[in-house]
Amino acid sequence: MILAILKKQGWLKALLAIIGCGCLLSGCGFRTINQTVKGEFAQSSVIPLPTVQALGKGFSATQELVGNFQGKENPLLFQLESDGSKLVMVGLTSIGHRLITLEYQQEKLSAELSPLLPEQLKADYLLSDFLLAFANVKAIKSAFNGSAYQVAETAQDDIHTRIIYNKSKPIIEIKYDHADPWRATVQLKHLVYGYSLQIKTIEKQLL
């Protein structure tokens, strides 16, 4: 239902309507987060990340994400928009409630998270997983330069694999069934924290 509204009305207008309804139903109460995702913060809390430019030209996209942790699946619909320098990600439930809004620009992350989300769900990890899966590998290598992290890619039998290492130990494995991540079903497995994500891009348009 949400996807049909987004396609019919245009995603931004539709999201504003959906978000407004969600606030009325839930009372909002979002917690706001502002973080830096490079430098000391990145070394201590999250993998160093490439900039938005690593995603290429400006675009809007709709993605289905299914997270799995300890056998429990949680689906989300994400609407994304980038102008080439800023990335906005909005996560909605299947009935249209906004749970997550992320904005990433110039190495700064701002986020609003619904109180319905567990405390252990970190905005920087959501951003990190997305960028590591969809940014070009050259930009990821550049972001990792001087850190303990490395990235490697392989391809076999139409399955493309990207592995993130920390001090030569694999920590994240990402598999694609297409050479273009935006056309693939993306399977991301975090080998340290024990969760996995399946991401499918339903629609993508260049701006």
Report the CATH number of the 2-206 domain: 2.50.20
pLDDT at residue 13 greater than cutoff 50: no
Q: How far is CA 98 from the centre of its chain?
A: 15
pTM for this predicted structure: 0.80
What is the reported pLDDT for 117? Answer: 75
Q: Give the burial class of 197: count Cβ atoms within 10 A of its Cβ; 0-12 exposed, 13-18 middle, 19 or more buried.
A: buried
What is the reported pLDDT for 57? Answer: 94
The mean pLDDT of the chain is 82
What is the reported pLDDT for 150? Answer: 97
Amino acid at 119: E
Mean of pLDDT values over 67-77: 88
Return the H-helix or E-strand segment holding 12: helix 11-26
pLDDT at residue 146 greater than cutoff 70: yes
Q: State the Cα–Cα distance between residues 57 and 77, nearest whole angstrom.
A: 22
Mean of pLDDT values over 133-138: 97
Residue 9: what are its φ and ψ, rounded to 5°? -100, -15
What is the reported pLDDT for 152? Answer: 98
What is the reported pLDDT for 119? Answer: 67
pLDDT at residue 81 greater than cutoff 80: yes
Q: State the Cα–Cα distance between residues 46 and 66, nearest whole angstrom.
A: 21
Closest CA to 196 of 108, 133, 106: 133
- What percentage of the chain has pLDDT greater than the value 70? 76
Segments in 68-194 forming alpha helices (H): 123-134, 137-144
